[in-house]
Chain A
Amino acid sequence: MEGIPTEDRVDADYRSYLVRKVIFIIGVLIGCIVVAGISLTINGRGIEFFDCYEYIIKHILGYEYEYRTEDWFNDYVLWNTYMPRVVIAIVSGCGLAICGVIMQSVFSNPLADPYTTGVSDGATLGATMAIVSGLTFANVAGSLGVVINAFIGALVPAVIIILISGAVRLSPATMILIGVALSGVFSGLQTLVMYSADPEELTAALRWGIGSFNQIQWSDCVIPALVTVIGSVLSIFMYRNLNLLTLGEASAKSLGLDVEQFKSLCMVLVAFMAAAIICYVGIIGFVGLISPHFVRMILGGDNKYVIPASMLVGSFFLLASDLIARLVVFPDELRVGLIMSVVGAPIFLYMIVKRKKGYGEVF
């Protein structure tokens, strides 16, 4: 019987493969919770690690404290000052990681993510134009108008790359170089708009250059969270189609997928998620790039598992780098986008130089 896999052995293999996936996902989830807890302990009020969880759980359960007692203050500070930060880290990590997974599948390019393809900078340009000049492409008042502007801005580089890759056969490296050049152009234009603006508005616009979770409030979390939830549900349902795309466009077409339509849908989704997140936290690079790769290294390339696991890993990365940012310089926190670049850029370099096969075959 040796060497010939019996049904039992195949079953057993498959089960252990599933168990490994579940264990990995649970492990990352626990990691997220622990890091979030540690991050909450830097609260300036001396609330201990386990007490933080207690306060948060009690608050979620609707527990009320007597007005102006020690407990009431602790609850108030944790919930209103530090919790939004944790939530936005989780939300933006999830969202950007999904963007990365989708873009990598759509472009068959392991180096694609919103940052390396210029989508992030397009979004910031759109948002900057909305804020600085009061000029919005879509005539909606308030922050939703800014998000819609950012969305339109984010679509521009995505459309340019799709058009170019339709006209010329681009290698993955060339596509990313085009993305980098586009992001240079867009951030140049953004700076141009910023410098033409008043100094006061300039600081608001400057916030986006390097992403940061400083001064995030609950009201800032609503739109990113909403969009990310919608995006994650959609992308989890799309996993079969994304798997088909990684086989190559021709195969995907022959298996009954409307490739062009699906790709456009994906890019709209990515642009919208990236725009919604970037409007509130600024540009955070490399999360979308490295989270899916980290997951694929351990779990393989099946998007059914890669998508949820990447969401968790992305959240974990952002929670951890936000924690580092806060630990290094307290209370003037460093920016999480910077920490992410310091960690992510060397991994990006490694991925470029050390590949053995062609880019398309990594999956």
Chain B
Amino acid sequence: MDAVSVSDMECEYYASIKKKKLAILAIAILSIIATVCSLFVSQLSTMTISDVMDVLGYHMTGTGDINPVYDMVVWDYNVPRALLGLVVGSSLAVGGAVMQSILRNPLATPYTTGVSAGASMGASLLIYLDFAILWTGGYVSSIAINAIVFAMIPTVAILIVSHQKHITPTTMILAGIAIMYIFSAATSLLMLLADPENVQEAYEWGIGSLGRASWDNIWFVTAVVIPCMVALLLFSKQVTIMNAGNRSAQSMGVRVKMIRNLSLVIIAVMTAVTVGITGGIGFIGLVAPHIARIFVGSDQKYLLPCSAALGSLILIVADAASRIIVPEGMPVGVITAVIGGPIFVLLLIKASKKVWF
């Protein structure tokens, strides 16, 4: 091999890295644009674009004259909602991307393994029955603790199930879905025991919605999710090596068990904190990483940021779409289910063409 071709390869390599970085940057910019655009979506037909700009300008600069109703709609409702969409979308997507690599299962996400449903149940224990495992003083953080504890149950169950020999990736996900059924039935039971009139709310909670976003809870969620995502990003090198197989990874000095368990715990914490506010939103964690893989491949170093950007983009667009289709507001989980379900089926068919499991 002569020097020229080496430098050619280097050139190609750097070009591909550059392309990946550009893709991530482009998606991130798109997602920010979508976030800003989503601020303008509202039920109020009298509110114009310039009204929204006025409100935003007022809060940025502290000067100006604004309508208090518009202020409430935009600043107290739409802005936290958009921020929550950013945070939740990226955390779901990152959780899905890491889980898929760690469990070596293209269908694994916090939702399909039952982690979200477990967290929902923990959260609803406090919301509907006033049962707190540990009362911290703050409502949002107490909900989060409940959710985290209950999210650990499916996480441990999936770890145990994944160690059994005869469990194929599909069976694992089916087990996860059964766990999800158990927890969501238990959650609905809790809610209806607390108040039989809660059917509507139980339904929305099961589907997942961004409607509960407010300035009170957004800070807490962000403060937990961002460190979690950074931690997962720090593991990205090891997780990428683990793609080559656990034994090879071990021989290359990766502490496979520790990385796997720790990552799953971090994902559970991250999911639990967001689910405590949104309920279980499905399919983002599945769809975003798979689309991201098309752009940047499966190197975690690029996959995670790209998935994060894509996840928040999809969630925010879906949320805006749900508000445009049904002005009274519809849980965003409906849209993600309708779009995500067929993609899930396609992935399944693709997987079963390759191997018959």
Contacts and interface: CB of A to CB of B under 8 A. Distances in A.
Contacts of B304: none
Given A174-B352, A196-B325, A334 B189 contact: yes
Contacts of B181: 285, 341, 345, 348-349
Interface in B298-328: 325-326, 328
B179 A349 contact: yes
Interface stretch (A162-170, A270-278, A304-312): A162-170
Contacts of A247: none
Interface string A257-290: 0000000000000000000000000000100000
Residue among A170, A174, A196, A209 with most chain B CB within 10 A: A174
Given A180-B177, A192-B338, A334-B189, 8 more contacts: A173-B170, A174-B170, A210-B188, A334-B196, A341-B184, A345-B178, A349-B179, A352-B178
Residue among B167, B174, B325, B353 with most chain A CB within 10 A: B174
A346 B179 CA distance: 8
B1 interface: no
A174 B192 contact: no
Contact of A177 (B170, B179, B182, B184): B170
B200 interface: yes
Interface in B140-187: 161, 164, 166-168, 170-171, 173-175, 177-179, 181-182, 184-186
A234 to B, nearest CB: 31
B7 to A, nearest CB: 45
A185 B337 contact: yes
The majority secondary structure among interface residues of chain B is helix
Contact of B178 (A168, A195, A210, A349): A349
B207 interface: yes
10 contacts: A171-B352, A177-B174, A178-B349, A181-B344, A185-B337, A192-B338, A196-B325, A206-B200, A338-B188, A342-B185
A349 B283 CA distance: 21
Nearest to A335: B192
B232 interface: no
Contacts of A338: 185, 188-189, 192
B129 to A, nearest CB: 14
B177 A329 contact: no
A338 B334 CA distance: 21
A355 B167 CA distance: 10
A173 B188 contact: no
A10 to B, nearest CB: 36
A25 B338 CA distance: 43
A188 B337 contact: yes
Interface of B: 107, 161, 164, 166-168, 170-171, 173-175, 177-179, 181-182, 184-186, 188-189, 192-193, 196, 199-200, 203, 207, 282-283, 325-326, 328, 330-331, 333-335, 337-338, 340-342, 344-345, 348-349, 351-353, 356-357
A352 B341 contact: no
A174 B184 CA distance: 22
B318 to A, nearest CB: 11
B179 to A, nearest CB: 6
Contacts of A210: 188, 199
Contacts of B185: 338, 341-342, 345
A353 B164 contact: yes
A223 to B, nearest CB: 25
Contacts of A346: 178, 182
Given A168-B353, A338-B185, A353-B161, A188 B341 contact: yes
A176 interface: yes
A335 B166 CA distance: 37
The majority secondary structure among interface residues of chain A is helix
Contacts of A332: 196
Nearest to A355: B166
Nearest to A341: B185
Nearest to B107: A177
A191 interface: yes
Contacts of A177: 107, 170, 173-174, 177, 344, 348
Interface of A: 111, 164, 167-171, 173-174, 176-178, 180-182, 184-185, 187-189, 191-192, 195-196, 206, 209-210, 285, 328-329, 332, 334-335, 338, 341-342, 345-346, 348-349, 352-353, 355
Contact of B334 (A171, A178, A192, A353): A192
B326 A195 contact: yes
Nearest to B177: A180
A173 B168 contact: yes
Given A181-B345, A185-B337, A345-B185, A206 B356 contact: no
Nearest to A209: B203
Contacts of A189: 338
B189 A173 contact: no
B349 A352 contact: no
B337 to A, nearest CB: 4
A203 to B, nearest CB: 8
Contacts of B192: 329, 334-335, 338
Contact of B330 (A164, A195, A348): A195
B274 to A, nearest CB: 20
Per CB-CB distance, the 8 closest pairs between chain A and chain B, nearest first, are A185-B341, A341-B185, A188-B337, A349-B178, A345-B181, A188-B338, A345-B182, A332-B196
Residue among A169, A195, A285, A346 with most chain B CB within 10 A: A195
B356 to A, nearest CB: 6
B107 to A, nearest CB: 7
A298 B139 CA distance: 51
A287 to B, nearest CB: 14
Given A177-B107, A189-B338, A353 B199 contact: no
Contacts of A348: 178, 181
